[in-house]
């Protein structure tokens, strides 16, 4: 009879029904094309096949990126989380299998009725029958968590490469701005000395001298500001590489950086499969859906099968004998009757957790589309802006030469020359800034498309 009951329980484990919803991907808006589509993305091969080391051509930048990916602590934490999730998944899988244990004991009893010794040695088996799918849901949830952590590592890699590349271009921008400021200070100091001599000889008023001196101070303030900004960026880059603050190597200037080719962008819907943060959000949602099944299964009875075999004797010498052998098999049923709505509320709370995860998934996808659109329009407009700024720089340089000649010949006031010099300085800085922004826009586009980091 016991054998028959055990067979029934095993069959229940193998063929029991699973409660809980099945996962379906939420409805996602799927535009047929990007609104800001332009020549900087092309249809074709997956962006994942274009690696970051093919995107950048500066050997120094590649070296910094390689160091970052090897040493960064956040990335190491992400790898550790994958290892942790792997072990958790292994535990969840093992819950489907019986647990086998052993026991050994020795008891000495004494009292008015006499004394004696009892020795025991045995093994026991315990198996929770997954009749409602609670353990299987837990296993799937653990797998989804593992897959989410794997995508999380890619998210960290993507952020690190983008952050380091962006910081590098920012550093080279500050280097260039500092160079411009120092050259401007040198030219302004020379102009100040000339104005001072003219004032000493009585040719000009003190106003001209003070204005020249003011321009020197302005350049010196810019030098200090860019030195500070440059150091802060270097400190940030060192932190990304997990090294103490130090000077960072330089390679190509931003103006000399080769621009990446057009990138294979695909359709907006491909972001669901290409973007690691979007995939991570989906796995997180899938995990929460599985946990609804766990919560629902907890409202039903739990079936357990257990068995034990062993030996018991009053003497160690006769412990492992046929006369001392004993065994048992038992089945147990345990279920809730009335818990003041706790089980129902547990299911409802988990359903809300899944609803939140679904909304986060949808929000991540919409944000991904926005980031692609932002990067596309940024590249196009920054390219046009840079061309215009270069034309402005060419004109500003000529205006300074003409204004200097007009002032030297007494045709115009010193104010005109000052305005021309200020405009030239500001335009030089603007050109440097736009060059840096253009390079960062390419990095942003590659990251937004879910490039293979």
The span from the CA of 190 to the CA of 15, in Å, is 92
Query: Helices (DSSP H) in 275-413: which residue ranges?
Result: 276-297, 342-408
Q: Under a CB-based contact definition with an 8 Å cutoff, are residues 185 and 212 in contact?
A: no
pLDDT of the residue at 319: 66
Q: Pseudo-torsion of CA 393, 443, 170, 249, nearest 10°?
A: -120
pLDDT of the residue at 334: 76
pLDDT in tens, the chain (453 residues): 455 455 455 545 444 578 889 999 998 888 888 888 888 888 777 787 778 778 889 999 999 999 999 999 999 999 999 999 999 989 888 888 888 888 787 777 766 665 677 777 778 888 888 888 888 999 999 999 999 999 999 999 999 999 999 999 999 999 999 999 999 999 999 999 999 998 999 888 898 899 999 999 999 999 999 999 999 999 999 999 999 999 999 999 999 999 988 888 888 888 888 899 999 999 999 999 999 999 998 888 888 888 888 777 677 766 667 666 777 787 777 777 777 778 889 899 999 999 999 999 999 999 999 999 999 999 999 999 999 999 999 999 999 999 999 988 888 888 899 899 999 999 999 999 999 999 999 999 999 999 876
Residues 6+ away with beta carbon under 8 Å from 275: 364, 365, 368, 448, 449, 450
Q: From edge to edge, which strands make up the β-sheet containing 116-129?
A: 99-109, 116-129, 302-313, 325-334
100, with CB counted inside 10 A (0-12, 13-18, 19+), is exposed
CATH topology of domain 2-448: Outer membrane efflux proteins (OEP) (1.20.1600)
Q: Under a CB-based contact definition with an 8 Å cutoff, are residues 406 and 143 in contact?
A: no
pLDDT of the residue at 16: 59
The span from the CA of 31 to the CA of 269, in Å, is 7
For residue 287 the two structure tokens come to 């995990």
Could you state, in order of their start, the residue ranges of all structural domains in the chain? 2-448
Helix (H) or strand (E) holding 238: helix 206-240
Q: Under a CB-based contact definition with an 8 Å cutoff, are residues 141 and 285 in contact?
A: no
Give the bridge partners for 121, in sequence order: 104, 311
Q: Under a CB-based contact definition with an 8 Å cutoff, are residues 8 and 286 in contact?
A: no
Q: Under a CB-based contact definition with an 8 Å cutoff, are residues 329 and 307 in contact?
A: yes
pLDDT of the residue at 192: 92
Please report where in the chains the tokens 């016991």 appear, as a residue.
2
116, with CB counted inside 10 A (0-12, 13-18, 19+), is exposed
pLDDT of the residue at 9: 52
Q: Under a CB-based contact definition with an 8 Å cutoff, are residues 321 and 165 in contact?
A: no
Query: How many residues belong to the chain?
Result: 453
The span from the CA of 128 to the CA of 266, in Å, is 48
Q: Under a CB-based contact definition with an 8 Å cutoff, are residues 423 and 399 in contact?
A: yes
For residue 73 the two structure tokens come to 């602590």
Parallel/antiparallel/unpaired status of strands 325-334 and 302-313: antiparallel
Give, in order, the Cα–Cα distances in Å from 390 to each of 170, 258, 300, 434.
19, 17, 73, 10
Distance of CA 215 to the CA centre of its chain: 45
**How would you label 128-156 residue by residue, b for 16+ Cβ within 10 Å and e otherwise?**
bbbbbbbbbbbbbbbbbbbbbbbbbbbbb
The span from the CA of 196 to the CA of 339, in Å, is 93
Parallel/antiparallel/unpaired status of strands 116-129 and 99-109: antiparallel
pLDDT of the residue at 95: 84
pLDDT of the residue at 38: 84
Which region, left, alpha or beta, applies to residue 111 given φ > 0 means left and ψ of -120 to 50 means alpha?
left
The span from the CA of 408 to the CA of 221, in Å, is 28
């Amino acid at each position: 009879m016991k054998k028959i009951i055990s067979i029934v329980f095993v069959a229940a484990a193998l063929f029991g029904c699973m409660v809980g919803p099945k996962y379906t991907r939420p409805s996602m808006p799927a535009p047929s094309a990007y609104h800001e589509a332009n020549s900087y993305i092309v249809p074709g091969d997956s962006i994942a096949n274009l690696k970051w080391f093919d995107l950048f051509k500066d050997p120094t930048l590649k070296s910094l990126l390689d160091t970052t990916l090897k040493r960064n602590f956040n990335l190491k934490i992400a790898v550790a989380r994958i290892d942790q999730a792997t072990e958790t998944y292994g535990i969840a899988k093992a819950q489907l299998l019986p647990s086998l244990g052993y026991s050994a004991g020795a008891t000495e009893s004494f009292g008015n009725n006499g004394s004696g010794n009892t020795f025991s040695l045995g093994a026991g088996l315990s198996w929770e029958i997954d009749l409602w799918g609670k353990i299987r849901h837990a296993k799937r949830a653990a797998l989804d968590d593992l897959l989410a952590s794997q995508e999380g590592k890619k998210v960290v890699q993507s952020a690190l490469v983008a952050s380091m590349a962006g910081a590098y271009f920012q550093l080279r921008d500050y280097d260039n701005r500092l160079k411009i400021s120092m050259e401007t200070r040198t030219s302004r100091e020379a102009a100040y000395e000339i104005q001072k001599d003219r004032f000493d000889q009585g040719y000009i008023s003190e106003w001209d001298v003070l204005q020249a001196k003011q321009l020197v101070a302005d350049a010196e303030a810019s030098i200090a500001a860019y030195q500070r900004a440059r150091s802060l960026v270097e400190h940030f880059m060192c932190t990304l590489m997990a090294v103490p603050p130090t000077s960072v190597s330089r390679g190509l200037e931003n103006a000399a950086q080769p621009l990446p080719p057009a990138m294979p962008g695909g359709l907006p819907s491909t972001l669901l499969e290409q973007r690691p943060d979007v995939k991570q959000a989906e796995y997180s949602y899938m995990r929460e859906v599985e946990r609804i099944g766990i919560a629902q299964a907890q409202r039903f009875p739990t079936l357990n099968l257990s068995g034990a075999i062993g030996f018991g004797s009053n003497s160690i010498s006769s412990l492992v004998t046929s006369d001392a052998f004993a065994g048992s098999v038992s089945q147990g049923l345990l279920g809730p009757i009335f818990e003041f709505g706790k089980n129902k509320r547990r299911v409802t709370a988990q359903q809300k957790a899944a609803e939140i995860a679904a909304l986060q998934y949808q929000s991540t996808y919409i944000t991904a589309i926005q980031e692609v659109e932002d990067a596309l329009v940024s590249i196009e407009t920054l390219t046009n802006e840079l061309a215009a700024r270069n034309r402005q720089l060419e004109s500003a340089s000529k205006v300074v030469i003409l204004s200097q000649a007009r002032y030297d010949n007494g045709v115009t006031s010193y104010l005109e020359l000052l305005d021309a010099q200020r405009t030239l300085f500001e335009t030089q800085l603007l050109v440097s800034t736009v060059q840096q922004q253009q390079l960062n826009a390419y990095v942003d586009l590659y990251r937004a498309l879910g490039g293979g980091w």
